[in-house]
Amino acid sequence: MTINIHEMNIEDYDVVYELWKRSDDIMLSKADSHHGIKNFLERNPGMSFTAWKEGVMVGSVLCGHDGRRGYIHHLMVHPDFRRQGIGQSLVSRCIFALTRIGIQKCHLFVCDDNEGGVKFWESLGWTKRVELSMMSQYILE
């Protein structure tokens, strides 16, 4: 099975969004609108990726940075294509893109009840942070 990984572009948006909607573990919000993702991709060029098999998107990931730390969002592999190394390949591309510009540490968010997600990230060497709490506030509605 040949999987081709490409840099994500805004033309992929509709297919990516449909893939994200297949997961109960990805929390979609207004920030995931076409406009929001377009801004994210423009601010973080060459850092987000899609995986394709025979013209069908089977995975995607958003990656960006704030100049100091990297962030991975919405890693998703279609359920029919999991456990084939696609997620790991997408993450590797993100890490390479971050290290290429000197980012030394990367964070990501996993829902507390997403046991499969936690196990996946731990299998790649990521560490769950229990000493931190995330806080959020909407500044535009």
Helix (H/G/I), strand (E/B), else coil: 99:
helix
Cα 72-126-60 angle, rounded to 5 deg = 30
15 assigned to some structural domain: yes
Rounded CA-CA distance 114/122 in Å is 12
73 assigned to some structural domain: yes
Q: Six-digit token pair at 33?
A: 């609108």
The owner of tokens 């968010």 is 109
Number of domains into which the chain is organized: 1
**pLDDT given at position 141:** 66
Instruction: List the chain pLDDT tens, one digit each, 141 residues.
Output: 689 999 999 999 999 999 999 988 889 999 999 999 999 999 999 999 999 999 999 999 999 999 999 999 999 999 999 999 999 999 999 999 999 999 999 999 998 889 999 999 999 999 999 898 888 888 876
135 assigned to some structural domain: no
131 assigned to some structural domain: no
Which residue segment(s) compose the domain that 46 sits in?
A: 4-123
9 assigned to some structural domain: yes
58 assigned to some structural domain: yes
**pLDDT given at position 24:** 85
**pLDDT given at position 135:** 86
130 assigned to some structural domain: no
The owner of tokens 């025979």 is 54
14 assigned to some structural domain: yes
Contact 70, 105 (CB under 8 A): yes
| Model pTM above 0.85 | yes
Query: Which CATH number do you get for residue 32?
Result: 3.40.630.30
